[in-house]
């Protein structure tokens, strides 16, 4: 069964796009069929996959407003072995254009319903704000993966995002849940990092992934070559960390045990 994850955090600079691209590539390396959806007008995930955002005639914007099918807009990330729905600056127009269409908050869900059975995982890279684009992403997904740095201000942002997830789950997407919290730019030598980690585990328990993503030069360099870190330097600490995250996500999915319905005698 296909799972759709939104990579979201209202705070910028926490590694959302890095996580989206590298998690997609890492899951693909396990033999999973992956679609990465770029919902950020900056188009950084698109460029990080080696797809030139400026030369795209058809993007996720066209899909959202009904000017193109999902299949027509797809591109291939050859180095990562997964499919991409690209974005560029034109997506900014979606904020206005979506206000004029019916079911504006569920356009992405409808678009992905056409193709979701082709994939094991669909990863959505969200913009760093609670916008109509983010709302569409949260309505379309099954769970939210929140990348965050181990800082106290990040804890406040996480609390606000968790409230948003609950409200959207209540009114627009009953299956929506917090899938996991990913610690990024992680430095275990920092006492604040360890304090924040302890608070996260206290409040969110096993929602905090065991894997943390370290600061890594190769992770920062890879996007300029249009490649996931796994293709750029498969032995780098960053690439290995995202492989570990993908493995953890797959193991969690396998560990979900369905409780059989009770029968009456």
Q: How far apart are the first and last CA of the chain?
A: 32
Q: Which of 129, 39, 29, 127 is nearest to 82 (CA)?
A: 29
How far apart CA 106 and CA 140 sit, in angstroms, is 7
Query: pLDDT grade, residue 262 (50/70/90)?
Result: very low
Q: Which residues in 109-122 are b (16+ Cβ under 10 Å) and which e?
A: bbbbeebbeebbbb
Q: Which residue has the tokens 């992770």?
A: 219
Q: Which residues contact 161 (CB under 8 A, 6 or more apart)?
A: 8, 9, 10, 144, 146
Q: Which of 6, 5, 17 is nearest to 184 (CA)?
A: 17
What pLDDT digit, counting tens, does each position of 81-111 carry?
999 999 999 999 888 888 888 889 999 999 9
Mind listing the domains of the chain with CATH numbers? 3-255 (3.40.50.300)
Tokens of 218: 């190769």
pLDDT for the residue 155: 83
Residue 175 CB coordination number (10 Å): 9
What pLDDT digit, counting tens, does each position of 33-84 carry?
999 999 999 999 999 999 999 999 999 999 999 999 999 999 999 999 999 9
């Amino acid at each position: 069964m296909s799972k759709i994850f939104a990579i979201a955090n209202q705070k910028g600079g926490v590694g959302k796009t890095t996580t989206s691209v590298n998690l997609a590539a890492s899951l693909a390396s396990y033999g999973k069929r992956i679609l990465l959806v770029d919902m950020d007008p900056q188009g950084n995930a698109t460029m990080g996959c080696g797809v030139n955002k400026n030369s795209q005639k058809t993007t996720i914007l066209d899909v959202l407003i009904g000017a193109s099918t999902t299949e027509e807009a797809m591109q291939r990330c050859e180095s990562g072995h997964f499919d991409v729905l690209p974005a560029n600056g034109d997506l900014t127009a979606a904020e206005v254009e979506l206000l004029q269409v019916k079911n504006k908050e569920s356009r992405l869900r409808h678009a992905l319903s056409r193709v979701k059975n082709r994939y094991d995982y669909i990863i959505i890279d969200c913009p760093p704000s609670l916008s109509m684009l983010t709302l569409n992403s949260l309505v379309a997904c099954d769970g939210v993966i929140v990348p965050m740095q181990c800082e106290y201000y990040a804890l406040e942002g996480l609390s606000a995002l968790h409230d948003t997830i609950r409200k959207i789950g209540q009114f627009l997407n009953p299956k929506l849940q917090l899938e996991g919290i990913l610690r990024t730019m992680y430095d275990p030598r920092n006492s604040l990092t360890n304090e924040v980690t302890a608070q996260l585990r206290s409040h969110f328990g096993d929602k905090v992934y065991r894997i943390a993503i370290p600061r890594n030069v190769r992770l920062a360099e890879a996007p300029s070559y249009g490649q996931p870190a796994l293709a750029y330097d498969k032995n780098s600490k960053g690439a290995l960390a995202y492989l570990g995250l993908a493995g953890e996500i797959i193991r969690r999915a396998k560990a979900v045990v369905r409780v059989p319905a009770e029968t009456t005698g």
